Copies of this chain bind each other. A is one copy, B any other.
Amino acid sequence: MAERTMPDKTEADPRDSKKDAILEAGIKLFSEKGFAAVGVRDIAKEANVNISMISYYYGGKSGVLKEILSSFFSEYSELIRKIVDISDDPPVFISNLVDAAVPFFREHSRQAIIFAVEMPVDSSDITEFKAEKMRNLLNLFRKVFAHAGLPEGMEDRLIGIIGPSFFSILFSHFLFYPVTEQTFGIRKNDEFYELYRNVVKTIMTGAVKELQLSFGRTGIS
C-alpha cells in the first residue's frame, strides 16, 4: 500500500512545518481518541492542512502512527542505552532510570499513551510494525535487569513478567491521568513530578530488593 513516491526529507526545513503539524495533530488526537477513532479529516483540521497532505507526507493515516511510534521508541531506546552506559551500580541505575524516564514520559506522555494503548491492538496494517517495536522493547528489559541487580540466571519467563510490570509502573500514571486528575486533584507541575519520581523509585527499589531475596540465587555485587 501507499507505494506512491513521497518526499522523504530528513533535514529540518522551515517548509516542513506542515509535515510536523500533521505529526503533532496525530499525537494529540490518537492519544485522546485512539488511532481507529481518529479520521484523516480530524488530523487535517487539527493541523490546519489539506487532507491530501496526510497521504502525501506519510502515505496515509497508518503512516502517521508509524512515525509517532517509531520516533517515540527510538528516543526511549536511546535513553535506556545511555542510562545503562553510565550506571554500574544497581541502586544507582534504578535512580538514574527513574530520573531520566519520568521527565521523558512527562515530555512524551501522549506518545506513551498511544504506545501503551495501541500496543495490544491488532490493526492488521501496522501489526507487524508494532510487534517489532515491542520485541525490541522487551529485549531492552534484559539489559535493564542485568543492571538492576536482578538475578543473573533469571529465566526468560521472569523477564517477561517483571519487564512489563516495571514498564507499566513508569507510565501507568500517564495512562490514568485523565481520571486521577479529577479524582485525586493531581496537577502536572514540577512539584508533583518530584513526588512522583520519589514514589516510583521507592516502589522499584523495594520491588528489586524483594525480588532478589525471593528469586536471586546470589546477591549481585
Contacts and interface: CB of A to CB of B under 8 A. Distances in A.
A117 interface: yes
Contact of A156 (B113, B139, B184): B184
Interface stretch (A15-23, A67-75, A79-87, A166-174): A166-174
Interface residues of A, number: 70
Given A35-B34, A208-B206, A172 B176 contact: no
Contacts of A156: 184-185
Interface in A79-121: 113, 116-121
A25 interface: no
B200 A215 contact: no
A207 interface: yes
Contact of A33 (B123, B169, B206): B123
Nearest to A114: B120
Name, among A169, A177, A214, the residue most crowded by chain B CB atoms within 10 Å (CB to CB): A169
Interface of A: 4-5, 31-37, 41, 45, 113, 116-123, 131, 134-135, 138-139, 156-165, 167-169, 172-173, 175-180, 182-186, 192, 195-196, 198-200, 202-211, 213-215
